[in-house]
Amino acid sequence: MRATDAEKALAADIWQHFHDQNYEQAQALLAHALETSEHPRFKRIQARFYLFEGREGDAATIIKEILPKVWTPGSWELALVRSGACRAKVLKKQKVLYFPLRKCGSTSLLNMMKILTGEDARGEHVHQEDDTRKPVNLATMGADYPGYFSCTAVRDPIDRLLSYFHGNIVGRDHLMVEYGGKTEFYGLPTKPGLDYFLVNFVRYRQVFISVRDHTEPLVSSIGANPAVFNWIGGLGQLSDLAAKLSAHAGIELPLLQDMVSAEKPGKVAHDMPIAVQALYAEDYEAYGVFF
């Protein structure tokens, strides 16, 4: 279902009000849009607004309903409803499926996929090529992609969270840049201290979709069954993955360094607020052996 120019303009206006922190106006425009248009993009905005309001259940109900009609669902949408599908880098010629997970060595591994396809590695820019990553159904990928080598790398969720905080939010002013240089967005500092961030973690995940994307539990994205992948491992085992990929694709890959987090976490799981511990409890259960 193609959006008309008017629908596109209306959606842009809604987002503009939201980003201008004029939420009441954004809501009013969205209500108008929902009354006058059947286009799924407005339902998606409604789901996003529900998340902003902390109404995850209501957001999930909408996403479940519209997901089949959405051409390129966002990572957060797939994860919210635990759709069983995860966005993957699909290398058709080399028959490789790589499932990039945020803060799990995905920059290095996406660059490695570039080497496999004969392209130059491109550093952080590989993350902007989302159009090349399509949702792959994990339960049926063996049948959907016969002969493919499927792989992903995972990481201790608290390490991921701290790496995201130190590397992205503090190190690269991620939130400030994303929200046009604002020092606060809906009352939350875009460059908070760690303790403030952790205490308000639930609200940060509601307000900033990029915080949500970077801190989704692994199980929300790739399910809880590591056996569906031909290879899965931690960041300390990437050289093994490089060797397996070399063997599978018949291409000599340069030696990939095993990664050890440079940012030693100052906090461990039991220091974290209950909300953080609860969010990642299933990750430790399903994937703890790889951390």
Partner 1 sequence: MSELYNTDILRLTTRIPHQTRLESPDVTAVKTSRVCGSRLTADAVIQKGAITAFGQEVKACALGQAAAAIVGEHVVGLTENELSGVADQFRTMIKTGETKFPEKWSKLALLAPVKDHPGRQGSVMLSFQVLEQIFADARKSNESAA
Residues binding partner 1 (CB under 8 A): 23-24, 27-28, 30-31, 34, 52-57, 186-188, 199-200, 202-203, 206, 273-275, 278
Which of 44/114 has CB closer to partner 1?
44
* The pairing of beta strand 133-137 with beta strand 184-185: unpaired
Which of 90/281 has CB closer to partner 1?
281
CB of 162 to partner 1, least distance (A): 19
CB of 17 to partner 1, least distance (A): 12
CB of 3 to partner 1, least distance (A): 20
Which residues, 6+ apart, have CB-to-CB distance to 127 below 8 Å? 106, 107, 110
Which of 145/197 has CB closer to partner 1?
197
Which of 60/253 has CB closer to partner 1?
60
CB of 241 to partner 1, least distance (A): 36
How far apart, in Å, are the Cα atoms of 251 and each of 113, 145, 232, 245? 11, 20, 20, 8
What's the 3-state SS for 169-228?
HHCCCHHHHHCCCCCEECCEECCCCHHHHHHCHHHHHHHCHHHHHHHCCHHHHHCCCHHH
Which of 59/241 has CB closer to partner 1?
59
Which of 167/189 has CB closer to partner 1?
189
CB of 279 to partner 1, least distance (A): 9
Which of 143/274 has CB closer to partner 1?
274
CB of 156 to partner 1, least distance (A): 22
Which of 49/148 has CB closer to partner 1?
49
CB of 199 to partner 1, least distance (A): 5
- Biggest distance spanned by C-alpha atoms of the chain: 57
CB of 48 to partner 1, least distance (A): 13
Name the strand (E) or helix (H) holding 233.
strand 231-233
Q: Where do runs of H (alpha helix) occur along the chain?
A: 5-19, 23-36, 40-52, 56-66, 75-80, 106-116, 141-144, 157-163, 174-178, 194-199, 201-207, 209-215, 218-222, 238-249, 274-287
State the virtual CA torsion across 144, 226, 58, 4 in degrees, nearest 10. -30
Please tell me the distance from the alpha carbon of residue 72 to that of residue 75, in angstroms, as a whole number.
Answer: 9
What's the 3-state SS for 9-23?
HHHHHHHHHHHCCCH
